[in-house]
Structure 1
């Protein structure tokens, strides 16, 4: 058994990784808007931690650097353009911070839905920035599918971790043993059947329920709340019921976020908008907002859940067009991984 454990997101943060959108990727329908949103993400996070930016080799690197200089962003920003990637959702293929090491699981485009050959090499190509090589494991799993607290309880949705498309030969007990060995997980809090319409990940936990180091028990859970008018009302009700049971079992304090109804500005389809897709970084919680009526209520819930943190709203509506948000677009690297 490993003595190393996956670190909760509120562990001290050394840097945050971003993979910049590029025109040949998935963002053709709203490229200008998503790039502006990424500049907002970069500027916000750089005030709390260094930001390491991967700029796709197809982009004009000198133009990017000129834009970075012109925007006069406070903080440390490092950029490079020598690493290819398929997708901008670095949460799912970036290195996972554990105590005294970094892990790199296999990424296969969420069960083979999309090309991920370049993405799968990214974490292993960052050893100079990371100062050492992440440990590579032949097990398909994405960072957005895993949420741990300081007691090494893993909160996750079964459908995207115990999945025959991702790991066809592994049963539930096999998967749990792998997560125990490589991430130091002690106990499992599994959700079942929770996936918002349009979510390509089969229900990543970072879109539906998250931990916070708060509450009388030292841990709280924040989740996407009920909305009877939402297309996924029954799924959200099931999430509420399952979280209530798990929270009672472990003594977690519970915070229910609003779940907004967001429609695509490109083709009008329902988007998997969630306020649970926030990023915890040092003494800040970077909260996605969408210029929707529920924004203020969501920020108020997060302030109650994170009373000692600064809540920083970041406009992320353009990211919803590709079914992700702020947490999906980022990956923190902990100082404790050294």
Structure 2
């Protein structure tokens, strides 16, 4: 059976979120991150459903009341109690493929907390627990390969975009060569081209250069990417080299990609210890008829929205302030996982 990885712009049933625990890493920022997640839910449920994994029944009841007060339609909200470690659904959520007959399959890759940096036992079991709870309307299949959703981008037509720093990192699959990884990607995702970026990183990023912080497919011919225009910034050399790599990439037909540069926000620093935070406009989320765009209260927020409007002329762009999210070294896309049509069961809360 041959499967194909679906691109993010494929029609969706909904998105998945994982709500933070009161005793987890988000504890000092709990009110802030919950407010951000609430904005994501309210915005998304205008277009589609939202599945939220919640840590306990009390949180489930509270969120049901909160979103009812926000007039979120109950049929667009699914709350399921399950134990979790953290909130990054992009990396512990299922990755959906489709076969030639249109049948969906959710792949449950191994999640190790970005190469063993953080606890991940509960998150690694979450897709199966959601299956046991009846959340999915299609089968799931587990994979031994260590892989996070934020580490891959696809055009939906057999090309995968990724970074060497992540997928070839010894902390993920140390026994696999580049050829081995490509063979696994071909087998699971039906891709026959892998575009490897050798350059590009963000300070404060725990993921070893996830592609969704750097460069994103907007359609099969268009890539939006982070450009640093400050030669005095420490990121400048690597991101300039990454830009050159993108300029040399070719589509399957031999044409260069349409590249859309995203602006460089002012440096953001953690107010407690001063380390730099990974603010990036590349961490946007495509949903049905809309694109949710992370913003940072920066003068170039507007320029980022204008750039992405060129990439998504038929979508509504919705800014979501993400200053609290980058405090834990991710952004908007990292918090979410899209659930393509034919994957989310018709359950009620």
Determine if the TM-score, normalized by the shorter chain, exceeds 0.5: yes
- Note if 1:234 corresponds to 2:237: yes
Give the corresponding residue for 2:163. 157
Matches within 5 A, 1:99-118: 99=98, 100-118=104-122
Q: Distance in 2 between matches of 1:158 and 1:80?
A: 35
Q: SS at the partner of 1:230? A: coil
Count the aligned residue pairs.
Answer: 332
Shift of 1:55: 0.9
Give the corresponding residue for 1:77. 77
Q: SS at the partner of 2:248? A: helix
Give the corresponding residue for 1:34. 33
Give the corresponding residue for 1:136. 142
Shift of 1:58: 7.9
Q: SS at the partner of 1:302? A: helix
Q: SS at the partner of 1:120? A: helix
Give 2:225's match in structure 1, choosing from 223, 244, 258.
223
Matches within 5 A, 1:59-78: 60-74=59-73, 76-78=76-78
- When residues 268 and 59 of structure 1 are mapped into structure 2, their CA distance, relative to the original with a 3 A threshold, is farther
Q: Deviations for 1:86-117, whole angstroms, at most 9, x for unmatched residues?
A: 01001001010111211111000101111100
- Note if 1:4 corresponds to 2:29: no
In structure 2, the gaps of 5 or more residues are 99-103, 345-349
- Note if 1:125 corresponds to 2:129: yes
Report if aligned partners of 1:227, 1:236 keep a CA contact under 8 Å in 2. no
Shift of 1:337: 5.4
Shift of 1:314: 1.2
Q: What is the root-mean-square deviation of aligned Cα atoms in Å?
A: 1.7
Q: Distance in 2 between matches of 1:179 and 1:337?
A: 21
In structure 1, the gaps of 5 or more residues are none
Q: Distance in 1 between matches of 2:196 and 2:162?
A: 5
Superposition TM-score, scaled by structure 1 size: 0.94
Superposition TM-score, scaled by structure 2 size: 0.91
Shift of 1:133: 3.3
Q: Distance in 1 between matches of 2:166 and 2:274?
A: 27
